[in-house]
Structure 1
Amino acid sequence: MRLKIAADIAGAVAYLHSASSVPIYHRDIKSRNILLDEKYVVKVSDFGTSRSVATDQTHLTTVKRSDVYSFGVVLVELLTGQRPISLDKTEEERGLATRFLACMEEECMDTILDPQVREQGRKEEVILVAKLAQRCLHSKGRMRPTMKEVATELESFRISEMSSSVNVESEDVRSFGDMPAMISDTEYTWTNSYKSAFTSSSDTHPLVLYESVS
């Protein structure tokens, strides 16, 4: 289910970047702005800081890669079940992305993975997703993949997962914040046909795993 959620988020953002008539860059991709309904359908919300870019290619690329980095953080949250910022840690260890990249470099990824991911996920698949997150978090924007590439890779992982007939428990994945979801007037819903670009919903909740992960 976490893989499905990740693939759907990536697909939604990739659509905004590449498939819409005018490229749209969200600029505030984070778990609080990823909403799920009762069927785990993903909605990307809060377009208050988004912008359309259709002129300067350098600026376009910079903004696009910024969304990729932010998605990388969300992907790491799905892998680890941890907050993006942990105030109970030392200053240099507070950032989840920094800790994750350090674990990848030191080849100790198991120490940071959510126990559920570590125990129930296929090792090969988890490694592939972790390496993709690592690429999304590259310090140099030009070295990060595009959201279209990210979406394609995650969808291929998902298809591989489905074909392997591995059952993933979903009940522990979705967790809701304590406050009601604040939904902007315009939201994006990813569908296989790519046609239902913007919808509204009153029964959605933010994707915040760590509030229920011990």
Structure 2
Amino acid sequence: MSRTRTAVLLGLAAAGTLTLGSATATAVPASLPAAAAGSTTVTPAGHGFKATLSGRATLKAGSVTVTCSVSVATGSVPAAPGNTNPAGPVSSPISPPTYSSCTSSMPGVTPTVTTSGAWKVTMQNGSPSTAVLTVPVAGLKVQTSGLAVCTVIAAPSAPAGAPGTWTNGAPPKLTFTNATVPVTVTGGFGCPTSATTSTFNAVYTVANTTAPAQQITVGP
């Protein structure tokens, strides 16, 4: 592994919207296409990182919006030589992102967001550097209680990839813009049960937990 477009894709949703629509779901590949392959290096090799939500995460299902103000995911850059790929992206496992302090735009409805399974992030150096966040099967679930009792499951039958961009800096940022993954929605009155896709926008800041003075960087 070497340089290429890279991005450390960590955790899910930040400062964004998750919109459930009724169009036929089109799963984003869980890895970057071969056409985008080039050399990628993520540094520092072997260092841990923490992705923290910047702002809020907004999830929208039909006319109901769920807003979460706290979200975190952790992971680590592969140890050398696995942190570099001369002809493609670099992947890292990450913890399932957590979500808390969530509210609903619908009076009398309480949302809960849970995650599970083996998540990973695949980074590719470029202009901009890109990344794919892989959601495992049924790896994200949104449940509401109260006046509307609904369950939304992301990647219901196969792992799904959510594309994003990576920006080096102090701190570096991971951004999702209109990333789409398949979903299923079940429930009664008020639930968008015809939805088959979800879209989210998100921004995370990434900190090096091994050596805080050093930045996680994606390059060639």
Instruction: Specify the TM-score bucket, using the shorter chain as the normaliser.
Output: under 0.3
TM-score, structure 1 length as denominator?
0.27
Judging by fraction of residues, say which structure has more strand: 2
Judging by fraction of residues, say which structure has more helix: 1
